[in-house]
Amino acid sequence: MLGKMISPQNLAIAAGAVRMAGRKGDIFRRVLPWSIGILALMCVLVYLQSLPVPAWMVI
């Protein structure tokens, strides 16, 4: 999910779909904070699952 958001191929497809050809950098700048946010969320979830406190998370 994270790599898919910022892959060059998907950025090129997105730029073509919204008629922003040649402005892939603009799309990348808008997607990058979301990608970093999701990465931080995933890191927190993995850390919480390594603790014995939230046993309901680990199946």
Judge whether residue 59 has pLDDT over 70: no
Name the residue among 2, 4, 23 with its Cα closest to residue 12: 23
pTM of the model: 0.68
Look at residue 10 in the predicted model and tell me its pLDDT: 82
Look at residue 57 in the predicted model and tell me its pLDDT: 67
Structure tokens belonging to residue 29: 């700048």
Judge whether residue 58 has pLDDT over 70: no
Q: Is the dihedral of CA 41, 45, 46, 47 positive or negative?
A: positive
Kindly report, residue by residue over 6-24, the tens digit of the pLDDT: 788 888 888 888 888 888 8
